Amino acid sequence: MDLNSASTVVLQVLTQATSQDTAVLKPAEEQLKQWETQPGFYSVLLNIFTNHTLDINVRWLAVLYFKNGIDRYWRRVAPHALSEEEKSTLRAGLITNFNEPINQIATQIAVLIAKVARLDCPRQWPELIPTLIESVKVQDDLRQHRALLTFYHVTKTLASKRLAADRKLFYDLASGIYSFACSLWNHHTDTFLQQVSSGNEAAVLSSLERTLLSLKVLRKLTVNGFVEPHKNMEVMGFLHGIFERLKQFLECSRSIGTDNICRDRLEKTIILFTKVLLDFLDQHPFSFTPLIQRSLEFSVSYVFTEVGEGVTFERFIVQCMNLIKMIVKNYAYKPSKNFEDSSPETLEAHKIKMAFFTYPTLTEICRRLVSHYFLLTEEELTMWEEDPEGFTVEETGGDSWKYSLRPCTEVLFIDIFHEYNQTLTPVLLEMMQTLQGPTNVEDMNALLIKDAVYNAVGLAAYELFDSVDFDQWFKNQLLPELQVIHNRYKPLRRRVIWLIGQWISVKFKSDLRPMLYEAICNLLQDQDLVVRIETATTLKLTVDDFEFRTDQFLPYLETMFTLLFQLLQQVTECDTKMHVLHVLSCVIERVNMQIRPYVGCLVQYLPLLWKQSEEHNMLRCAILTTLIHLVQGLGADSKNLYPFLLPVIQLSTDVSQPPHVYLLEDGLELWLVTLENSPCITPELLRIFQNMSPLLELSSESLRTCFKIINGYIFLSSTEFLQTYAVGLCQSFCELLNEITTEGQVQVLKVVENALKVNPVLSPQMFQPILPCVFRGIIEGERYPVVMSTYLGVMGRVLLQNTSFFSSLLNEMAHKFNQECYPR
């Protein structure tokens, strides 16, 4: 492709490819696709996206095509690979000027340079790093920033390589440029700190941006660039200096507004400091040992004392708590039970931890966590009132502990309490003792303090097993609190029923369960929706418990099931409906057929809910789970559900329908239990077997369930089933036997054997194409005993139950092997 003549044509097609008119867009895309493998195409693209006078959208598209081309054609072994000559020209052109004025395009150029660096640096591109180092020294603000941006992306990409030879190259690179990276970061940091009081927001933002980028480079070099970083004085000097820099940046937050771009960048920089420490601790725990004391002192002072007031923010507190947690839980710092078996490094780290976590320090952390961080905030209480379902979803955020303050504080409390339970148990028991008896409903602060302490007692349930007589506490303290119906007492009603759920599997006498069931029935009628949802959660934990007794539960079953169904109808959020459905499923599963008199309302509601949840596949999964337990509970009576049940199975197991990605596993399970509980075959139940052939072609992890379903049809109505589907099934089996594992082959042959057992007359003819394969396996001596055993079982079944067919099969096989078959 001649550059001069092609540039105009490519530019025109790129312009067409940015059109919103599909009639113009599609042909342009096709033409660009054809040019991807043409020599010189990427040189034309380089000329286009580096020409700042052209339309931004066209330049953006040129960058994207260039970047995609690197992935496809830059490697030497790639089909239609770029020539070494063109690649050399492109590499030189990419780092000629760092003066891209558009931020988004500059980022894409930095990324594509990093992609090339991953493949070519340093062997084919030794000049890249020296060029970047020189470029970040220039005085021009734009060029300096773009070079620094590229420097970061290149460093990030090279640090991610994992092969030993690549790691060695990165270690050499890090050793060579670390001093420069440190001085660069210090320069930009000092510049920012000098300018922050000037009031020149543009200058402050510019220097802060450079500080952030240079710190990102240092993070990658520090964490990934050294095998034994504690032996490098510059690395350890940088890490020790982070704490002072953090203090400076936190103080800067006082003079920067709370709602502007500078504040956002400042907080990102502060968080990045903590990420350096967290990543370094994760990758080099023993090299981190000299930093343990300072890290704990810094984090505890800013999170648990007045030092942090006015300068900390939520994400920073979360990061500090994560740092404390990682130090407390780090296995590298935990000595063996026999201290003599522990390494000196482990013993040193453990000694530092023990010296820091004294009784006063642990007591203050525990009290501060409970009395400050566990308290429900004004924002949370407002959300409770305005969006109760949203509040419950926030409270059960799952794996969000790393990023959200409340779950993070709770996880930190659990870890510290577990590690130092002998010290902290008396502290928590003392807090419990001060809260005996009812609390004045007019004293909201006292209510929230009790809520927080109860939260701590629930989180530490396993550690408090020997220290709390929970049965007496339940009867004398908790149960009366559940009976306080005042609206302002609802945080405690909700917390107490949650607390009982935490202790139910730890320490709760079986004789007390009827009292608890009575309380649950009352709370499921509570005026507050959050209390009802939390009560449903505790009910699930109760029926899931090992000591659950159906006879104790049955007197309350009708009331609870009715109230749960009403709750299911009332809630509107998808997550909440899923949660209540899971509770209903657990109840149905535990009481099994005892549920039959009470499910009429649910059976009538589920079709409507299924229709409403068309866009919510996870909710449909919950409905499928509920249907599985319903069918098992109803037994043969589940036939009455077929008008709704069978179309649901049909959709869930149809691989041509997009929802099958989410619904298939539960759909197959529902299909299987439907067959197992069906009194007889119906035309509709037989018809959905049309979905099976594509499922067998998938050869997925669901094959085992598919084989069970096929067996279910054979046992339920072998003649009708085999007459309808045996030919296609046999063809699928023949294809499967050549593709699947030994275990899978055995499963296929077991299905055939079952068919022969149930229908000895019809089955041999239906599965005749498989039998020669089985016969050949026996003759040739199948090497796997379990497969040979199954082969012999199939053949033995044919011989015993259909001798005439067996004789004809022998003649057929004798003919194939050119042998004569002699009758006995």
Q: What is the mean pLDDT of residues 496-525?
A: 96
| Cα–Cα distance, 73 to 71 (Å, whole number) | 6
285 vs 348: CA distance, rounded Å: 12
Q: Would the pLDDT of 821 be above 70?
A: no
Q: Distance between alpha carbon 293 and the CA centroid of its chain, in Å?
A: 33
- The whole-angstrom separation of Cα 449 and Cα 241 is 39
Q: Judge whether residue 133 has pLDDT over 60.
A: yes
Q: How far is the C-alpha of 465 from the C-alpha of 209, rounded, in Å?
A: 52
Specify the pLDDT at position 757. Answer: 84
Amino acid making up residue 256: I
Instruction: Please check whether residue 453 is in contact with residue 431, taking contact to mean a CB–CB distance below 8 angstroms.
Output: yes
Nearest in space to 733 (alpha carbons), one of 701, 692, 705: 692
Give the dihedral sign, CA 237/240/246/251: negative
Using 50, 70 and 90 to split pLDDT, how confident is the model at 232? very high
User: Most confidently modeled of 559-568, 691-700, 752-761, 777-786?
Assistant: 559-568
In 3D space, the residue among 689, 747, 749, 745 whose CA is nearest the CA of residue 713 turns out to be 689
What b-and-e string marks burial along 716-746, b requiring 16 or more CB atoms within 10 Å of the CB? bbbeebbebbbeebbebbeebbeebeeebbb
Bigger pLDDT: 398 vs 807: 807
Scanning the structure block, which residue is given the tokens 């870890």? Answer: 415
Reduced to 3 states, what is the DSSP secondary structure of residue 590? helix
Angle between the 771-780 and 803-816 helix axes, to the nearest 10 degrees? 60
Q: What is the mean pLDDT of residues 79-93?
A: 94
Report whether pLDDT(452) > 60.
yes
Contact 205, 262 (CB under 8 A): yes
CB of 634 within 8 A of CB of 590?
no
Out of 136-140, 181-185, 390-394, 400-404, the most confident range is 181-185
The span from the CA of 540 to the CA of 739, in Å, is 43
Report, as an integer, the average pLDDT of 625-632. 96
Amino acid at site 642: Y
**Burial category of 164 from C-beta neighbours within 10 Å (exposed 0-12, middle 13-18, buried 19 and up):** exposed
pLDDT given for residue 65 in this prediction = 95
Residue 313 has pLDDT above 50, yes or no: yes
The answer to whether the beta carbons of residues 526 and 535 sit under 8 Å apart is yes
Amino acid identity at 289: T
The residues near 462 (Cβ < 8 Å, ≥ 6 apart) are 506
Residue 799: partners with Cβ closer than 8 Å, 6 or more residues away:
806
Tell me the per-residue pLDDT of 571-594, one tens digit each, with 9 for 90 and over: 999 999 999 999 999 999 999 999
- Residue 769 pLDDT level (bands cut at 50, 70, 90): confident
Burial label for 48, CB within 10 Å (0-12, 13-18, 19+), is buried
Average confidence (pLDDT) over 278-287: 97
Inform me whether the pLDDT recorded for 822 exceeds 90: no
The proportion of the chain whose per-residue pLDDT surpasses 90, expressed as a percent, equals 78
pTM of the entire structure? 0.87
Task: For the chain, state the CA radius of gyration.
Answer: 35
Which tokens in the block code for residue 782? 């199948």
Task: Give the three-class secondary structure for 178.
Answer: helix
Angle at which helices 421-433 and 444-459 cross, to 10°: 150
pLDDT of residue 51 exceeding 70, the answer is yes
Contact 42, 82 (CB under 8 A): yes
At residue 401, the pLDDT reads 43
pLDDT recorded at residue 396? 64
- Over residues 621-630, mean pLDDT: 96
Secondary structure of 605-658 as H, E, C letters: HHHHHHHHCCCCHHHHHHHHHHHHHHHHHHHHHHHHHHHHHHHHHHHHCCCCCC
| Tokens read off for 250 | 């936190």
The candidate with the shortest Cα–Cα distance to 328, out of 364, 365, 302, is 365
Residue type, 406: R
pLDDT, mean over the chain: 91
Alpha carbon distance 420, 495 (integer Å) = 25
**What's the average model confidence in pLDDT over 116-123?**
94
Torsion over CA: 343, 348, 354, 356 (sign): negative
**What pLDDT, on the 0 to 100 scale, is given for residue 341?**
83
Give the integer Cα–Cα distance in Å for 618 and 436: 43
Yes or no: say if 393 and 576 are a contact pair by the CB < 8 Å rule: yes
Per-residue model confidence (pLDDT) at position 402: 47
The per-residue pLDDT for 823 is 47
In which element (H, E) is residue 350 found? helix 344-356
Q: What does the pLDDT average to over 588-609?
A: 94
Per-residue pLDDT at 254 exceeds 90: no
CB 652 within 8 A of CB 664: yes
Counted residue by residue, the chain has a size of: 824
**Would you state the structure tokens that stand for residue 810, as one six-digit string?**
């022998």
Q: What is the pLDDT of residue 782?
A: 65
Cis peptide leading into residue 772 (ω within 30°): no
Q: What is the pLDDT of residues 144-203, one digit of tens each?
A: 999 999 999 999 999 999 999 999 999 999 999 999 999 999 999 999 999 988 778 888
In this structure, the dihedral spanned by the alpha carbons of residues 719, 724, 725 and 727, taken in order and rounded to 10 degrees, is 100
CA 392/CA 497 separation, integer angstroms: 14
Instruction: Name the pLDDT band for 706 (thresholds 50, 70, 90).
Output: very high
Q: Does the pLDDT at position 432 exceed 90?
A: yes
CA distance 115 to 330: 35
- What is the predicted pLDDT for the residue at 744? 83
The token pair at 141 is 């603000």
Whether pLDDT at 323 is above 50:
yes
pLDDT category at 4 given cuts 50, 70, 90 is low
Whole-number Å distance between alpha carbons of 388 and 385: 6
Q: Count, in order, helices (H) and strands (E) of the chain.
A: 40, 0
Taking each helix axis as running N to C, give the angle between helix 201-224 and helix 141-159, from 0 to 180 degrees, rounded to the nearest 10. Answer: 20
Kindly state the helix (H) or strand (E) to which residue 329 belongs, with its residue range. Answer: helix 314-329
Which segments of 18-127 does DSSP mark as H helices, in order? 22-35, 41-49, 56-73, 84-94, 103-120
What whole-number distance in Å separates Cα of residue 169 and Cα of residue 33?
36
Distance, CA of 217 to chain centre:
28
User: Is residue 258's pLDDT more than 80?
Assistant: no
